[in-house]
Chain A
Amino acid sequence: MKKRRLVVVGNGMAGMRTVEELLRLNPGLYDITVFGAEPHPNYNRILLSPVLTGEQTLRDIVLNDLDWYEGNGITLHLGRSITQINRSRREVIADDGSVTPYDRLLLATGSSPFVLPVPGKDLKGVITFRDIRDVNLMIEAAGRLKRAVVIGGGLLGLEAANGLATRGMDVSVVHLGETLLDRQLDGTAAALLQKSLRDRGLRFLMGRQTEAILDNGQGAVGGIRFKDGTEIETDLVVMAVGIRPNTALAHAAGIHTERGIVVNDTMQTFDPAIYAVGECVSHRGIAYGLVAPLFEQAKVAANHLAMFGIGRYAGSATSTKLKVTGIDLFSAGDFLGGPHTEVITLADYMGGVYKKLVIQDGRLVGACLYGDTLDGAWYLRLIREGTSIAALREQLMSGEDADNFAGRDHVPALALQE
């Protein structure tokens, strides 16, 4: 019997994790063809930050080298984008006009950095932070230019800012909100983070909305003007104001998309022959931008592609980590809490530690950790599994490995004797 054909659009972490899982489950089922727009084999995108700081090299972050593709009989097209899906013919058409038929199609097109639609966005020296090319641009710029502004105080923006600063640039971070990482941290943790980054030499312009990127007179970046009228001079602008799932290809093929490509709990799109995973996906209304949910999705998609038909993806309790060496932060779940939640807080501001756990109905529902994230994984597990913490509450803040300080609750203060 002729082998089934699986075409994967997207050579990133979600797509290749799905292929890996699939090969483990049912290695001989498909002839696999992979299209990657970047000229690199699959690499660990989340380690671009250490590459930018110089702590790691590109070679270090490759996940699947070319030998792996070859060894698994995978046909790999690098630097090749798919421009069209012909669903009725079950074919994809690449930017070179080549046509590749499929029995099953896996869309793992990822996402693209959002670029603010402001005047000057196309000037030389305005870049984003998404892939190896961006990193190389930044490294090159850092060697040449003095000042950089990163627009966006989210995870990527801060990592980019830290990387550029590490490479000797004078870096300012411009943020629309009043606190950094406003979707990942509460105000207290964000303040600690900001202080710590300020101590490393980063400058912050909070509550600023970018109005225009200014020309230095030579077609390159010279500065930024804000809505409040103030300006800042800079040689480089890194836009890190969010990502947009890449849905255009699917949308054009008539596949239902919303913010992302809409999938069901088996990661199947509205076309039963087409699956989708990763940052391009919208599952139960959520488009994830973090790595852990992608891997969970990959596992489910692989199972169904392998014709096992079991396993459902029910969404992820996500957690956040910032990859800036020496800064540990973690958040998960409903870390802000509300009127019906209880909060346990531990802080040592001099020691740069802040930990907040949110509890509802005897279960951990959120965590926000700064400075000491050792127990992040444990908290995430408790949140995911909805474990009752009644018996754990005393120990909860101390951590999973804390020896139990059992014993009498009240130990007398002083042994006083006349």
Chain B
Amino acid sequence: MDTATVQTTRSICCYCGTGCGVRIHSQGGQVRDISGDERHPSNLGKLCSKGRALAATVCQDGSRILTAQWRPDRTTPRRAIALEDACDLAAARLAETIVMHGPDAVGMYLSGQLLTEDYAVFNKLARALIGTNNIDTNSRLCMSSAVSGYKLTLGADAPPACYEDVDHAETVLIAGSNMAFAHPVLFRRLEAAKASRPDMKIIVVDPRRTDTCQVADLHLPILPGTDVALFHAMLNVMVRDGLINADYIAQHTEGFEILEQRIQAFAPDTVQDICGIPAQDIVRAAHWFGGARAALSFYTMGLNQSSSGTAKNTALIHLHLATGQIGRPGTGPFSLTGQPNAMGGREAGGMATLLPGHRDPANARHRDEVARLWGVDSLPSRPGKTAIEMFDAVLEGKIKVLWIAATNPAQSLPDQAKVRAALNKAELVIVQEAFANTETLEYADLVLPAATWPEKSGTVTNSERRISRVRAAIAPPGDACPDWRLVTRIARKIAERIAPHKTALFDYENEAQIFAEHARSTAGRDLDYSALDYAILDSDGPQQWPYRPGGSHASGRSVRLYADGIFPTSSGRAHFHDTQYVPVAENISPRYPLRLTSGRMRDQWHTMSRSGLVPSLTRHVEEPCLYLHPEDMQHHGLAQGELARLRTRRGQVILPVSGDEGLRPGHAFVHMHWGSGFIAGDGVNALANKVFDPISRQPELKHSAAGIEAVDFPWHAHAWVSGQVSMLRARLRPWLRRFPYAMLVPSAIGGEGVRLRLAGPDGISSALLQDLVRDLGLDQPDALFDDPARGIVRRLTRNGDKLKAWLLTGNTRACDALLQWADSGLAPASAAQVLMGRSGPVQRARIVCTCASVTDAAINEALAQGLGLEALKTTLKCGITCGSCLPEVRRMAAERTAAIEATP
């Protein structure tokens, strides 16, 4: 390889479903930098804080799984084995299971992060060779309510709008989406549209006042789970005030009459108490939506992760159909996908309830079509298990072998106690994974080393139906191998054992061949992109589907769908449904009085296996907290930073509390990212409810009734160690299991390192303290304050003025001074005084702008000097690179203004 020249590879960001184009600049097999691809229509060169930091996530060291690993029994640690042996092992055990217990004793749990080509071969393996529909993905936790909502109303799983619609919409309704954090680049586009057309109305429906609300003209702080009532009430107002489009309803839809009956009971005056939103705000939202020339809606997990997720999607789409706000520029119900290729997975049929080409495994004709395409006699007709059901089936002993790829169910699935019981119960757990830090690996018997971004090649489809090429920029490290290659290798070995004539089904030379076969499966379907191939993608760039053969761009390809009002239903009309409002599955009670919701952090993604490798991305939120409204903190006698036990009917976690006035009183909020690799217990999803929507089978991750109590541990420890995050996390991870409260997080303080916090009862043995000291590398400290009889061990090591590590136990009040020291490199006069907690109070600043490392203190100081937002951008340089911090900076400016106005 030419080591001198910098090569630029065009690819797609591997995080959210926005699908931003990136340019990967590599040299000598190493990624040097990432920049936005100006030519990619979905982001036009922009990237968010996570995307900009992608280069730092590319690693070839112990952060990665570099070889296959195997443990013959669960009492011994896994050891590295040759990849060929691992594939043989997997094939032998799978074949044996299929023969002994039938194909449905195998379950495959995949991921929206796989490429379309990976899905295609996994799907073929499951259905055409193994003969089971037990193949599902983490998209079940993410998009399946959107899928069923689209299918029920519009006839196909197809988001009809595109990003450009932001520039044409007069009203934008954002429901159940914190776009500012979850889809920042698209949110930048919305901000720009709002700035150029201030008359544009933006409505945000969210129980929390998130940073997305910074752009909103109207925030509806809805009570969790009441979205159907809200949308019905909006439709009620539109009907009442003549804002519906009777012509559109008559010509292009059916079923409106029954819905009209239904919504009569949902007058705003009635609904305001259900939703906790004043009637006049409901009316205003309805007027803005119904009265707009073009109304667009964005929605995601707030609607989808619900026991009535399908109903919520349906009720929102009703608004578009009733007002004809679909098929035109600036209109449409737009589901934002959470993962980079959940869309591709849906297209390739990589879910229990889907077959390739948006087909249905319950439909015999569809099964026949796919069987023919694949050249097999038939496909299994027994319904496959969806995510939650799959793990239940493992627990019941029905599924014996679980093959998990590119996802982390021991963190992401709800009701972790059950999930972990299932993982323990399974006879064989195969985990195909790239990163060495996931919670699920603890349960793996066989680990397959997967290649990951930017080592893989294939395609992804983003939220606006745009298919882009993902291109490998560097080779995978060690034995790591692209997922499709692992799958086909094992598939051939299984076929040799149980159906030798099917071996050829998995003979692919490259990704292009897989894509070509997959694209053929879409022919004649709503998403038809059978005319698309790698050559076109490479020459013409990313393409939206449908991309039909022979069609001109006008008819064959569509920027937005349903312009002609014809829908892919049997009648060609879209459907209204008599959608019922059903409250959340779990109501609050005296024992569980809080409504717990969850959401994302701005700079992290999913279970942090990749984004957690970048120290700078840990700046914005430095540790897991439980957020409560200040009134609730007061009510429970909790001060900022004190520990509380949060419990639901399923599990509990102990976290420090933090006040958030953006929450409604009676609500609690946790970030969804924190698993048992970061905190004691089974992670935040130990709390979450696995009850699921009857149609989409998507669990109600977004709402639980929760109880809370202050926990007052007498003994606390707080440590910081500089060094490589992956290595330190691996070494210190056992400490998460030794205390009722524990936290181990990556940290950007002092460059790169980790922070460990522990709390528990008194009487910590000196042997345990010694172990802690040793694991932190503090047995030869440069300064110490030890009083082991009182559980106090406080130590630090330094290199000149630079701190290397420290530990505080007993009380930890010196932590701010030490964090400050570690961060600034400015040593205090006396390290001993600091360790004794006698260095006086220290106010630590928090990074708001990750790109330019601008702190909240700096921003507040500039605001105090009278600087406005534009002046902040030029003086402090915050918000001018990726812009992800802009909503927060705006909020800080607004709070400052409000504070000044409130002063008499």
Chain B contacts for A397, CB-based, 8 A: 785, 787, 836
Contacts of A361-418 to chain B: CB distance below 8 A:
372, 393, 397-398, 402, 405, 409-418
Residue picked from B785, B787, B813, B816, most chain A C-beta under 10 Å: B787
Is B660 engaged at the interface, CB distance under 8 Å to the other chain? yes
B689 to chain A minimum Cβ distance, whole angstroms, is: 23
Is B621 engaged at the interface, CB distance under 8 Å to the other chain? yes
Render B799-813 as a binary contact track against A, CB cut-off 8 A, 1 for contact.
Answer: 000000000001111
A413 to B818 Cα, complex, angstroms? 10
Say whether A416 contacts B811, CB under 8 Å.
no
Residue picked from A342, A351, A372, A412, most chain B C-beta under 10 Å: A412
Q: Of the 9-residue stretches B145-153, B161-169, B634-642, B725-733, which lies at the interface with chain A?
A: B634-642
Chain A contacts for B846, CB-based, 8 A: 414-417
Chain B contacts for A349, CB-based, 8 A: 782-783
Contacts of B627-660 to chain A: CB distance below 8 A:
627, 639-642, 656, 658-660
A351 to B656 Cα, complex, angstroms? 35
A285 to B76 Cα, complex, angstroms? 63
How many A residues have CB within 8 A of the partner chain? 29
Is A343 engaged at the interface, CB distance under 8 Å to the other chain? yes
Say whether A410 contacts B627, CB under 8 Å.
no
Chain B contacts for A351, CB-based, 8 A: 783, 830-832
Is B790 engaged at the interface, CB distance under 8 Å to the other chain? yes
Say whether A416 contacts B622, CB under 8 Å.
yes
Say whether B656 contacts A412, CB under 8 Å.
yes
Contact of A414 among B620, B623, B789, B837 (CB under 8 A): B623
Given contacts A412-B639, A414-B623, contact A353 B786 (CB under 8 A): no
How many B residues have CB within 8 A of the partner chain? 51
Chain A contacts for B798, CB-based, 8 A: 350
A104 to B221 Cα, complex, angstroms? 99
Say whether B835 contacts A410, CB under 8 Å.
no
Chain A contacts for B844, CB-based, 8 A: 414-415
Chain A contacts for B811, CB-based, 8 A: 409-411
A314 to chain B minimum Cβ distance, whole angstroms, is: 29
Render B195-209 as a binary contact track against A, CB cut-off 8 A, 1 for contact.
Answer: 000000000000000
Say whether A413 contacts B812, CB under 8 Å.
yes
Say whether A348 contacts B714, CB under 8 Å.
no
Say whether A416 contacts B658, CB under 8 Å.
yes
Given contacts A410-B716, A416-B621, A417-B660, contact A347 B781 (CB under 8 A): yes
B221 to chain A minimum Cβ distance, whole angstroms, is: 16
Is A344 engaged at the interface, CB distance under 8 Å to the other chain? yes
Q: Which residue of A lies closest to B780 (CB)?
A: A349
Say whether B783 contacts A348, CB under 8 Å.
yes
Given contacts A348-B783, A349-B782, contact A413 B641 (CB under 8 A): yes
Say whether B783 contacts A350, CB under 8 Å.
yes
Q: Which residue of B lies closest to A409 (CB)?
A: B811
Contact of A350 among B656, B782, B819 (CB under 8 A): B782
Given contacts A347-B781, A398-B836, contact A416 B625 (CB under 8 A): yes
Is A345 engaged at the interface, CB distance under 8 Å to the other chain? yes
A284 to B622 Cα, complex, angstroms? 63
B145 to chain A minimum Cβ distance, whole angstroms, is: 25
Say whether B838 contacts A398, CB under 8 Å.
yes
Given contacts A351-B831, A353-B832, contact A393 B790 (CB under 8 A): yes
Is A346 engaged at the interface, CB distance under 8 Å to the other chain? yes
A317 to B663 Cα, complex, angstroms? 63
B759 to chain A minimum Cβ distance, whole angstroms, is: 8
Is B436 engaged at the interface, CB distance under 8 Å to the other chain? no
Q: Which residue of A lies closest to B602 (CB)?
A: A418
A347 to B831 Cα, complex, angstroms? 9
A36 to B838 Cα, complex, angstroms? 52
Chain A contacts for B832, CB-based, 8 A: 346-348, 351, 353, 355, 372
Q: Which residue of A lies closest to B599 (CB)?
A: A418
Q: Which residue of A lies closest to B718 (CB)?
A: A413
Say whether A413 contacts B831, CB under 8 Å.
no
Is B531 engaged at the interface, CB distance under 8 Å to the other chain? no
Say whether A347 contacts B784, CB under 8 Å.
yes
Given contacts A343-B786, A353-B832, contact A414 B622 (CB under 8 A): yes
Contacts of B807-857 to chain A: CB distance below 8 A:
810-813, 815-816, 819, 830-832, 835-838, 844, 846
Is B757 engaged at the interface, CB distance under 8 Å to the other chain? yes
A351 to B834 Cα, complex, angstroms? 12
Contact of A418 among B621, B781, B819 (CB under 8 A): B621
Say whether B641 contacts A412, CB under 8 Å.
yes
Say whether A346 contacts B659, CB under 8 Å.
no
Render B708-737 as a binary contact track against A, CB cut-off 8 A, 1 for contact.
Answer: 000001101010000000000000000000
Is B601 engaged at the interface, CB distance under 8 Å to the other chain? yes
Chain B contacts for A415, CB-based, 8 A: 640-641, 658, 844, 846
Residue picked from A344, A345, A393, A411, most chain B C-beta under 10 Å: A411
Say whether A417 contacts B658, CB under 8 Å.
yes
Say whether B621 contacts A411, CB under 8 Å.
no
A342 to B792 Cα, complex, angstroms? 12
Say whether B836 contacts A346, CB under 8 Å.
yes
Contact of B659 among A347, A348, A393, A417 (CB under 8 A): A417
The 9 closest A-B pairs by CB, nearest first: A412-B641, A348-B832, A342-B789, A348-B783, A411-B813, A344-B787, A409-B811, A345-B786, A348-B831
Q: A348-B783, A414-B846 are in contact. List 4 more A-B contacts (CB 8 A).
A: A342-B789, A348-B831, A415-B844, A418-B660
Q: List 22 A-B contacts (CB under 8 A).
A: A344-B785, A347-B832, A348-B831, A349-B782, A350-B798, A351-B831, A402-B838, A409-B714, A409-B810, A409-B811, A410-B759, A410-B813, A411-B811, A411-B816, A413-B816, A414-B623, A414-B641, A415-B640, A416-B625, A417-B627, A418-B601, A418-B620
Interface residues of A (CB under 8 A from B): 342-351, 353, 355, 359, 372, 393, 397-398, 402, 405, 409-418
Interface residues of B (CB under 8 A from A): 211, 601-602, 620-623, 625, 627, 639-642, 656, 658-660, 671, 713-714, 716, 718, 757, 759, 781-790, 798, 810-813, 815-816, 819, 830-832, 835-838, 844, 846
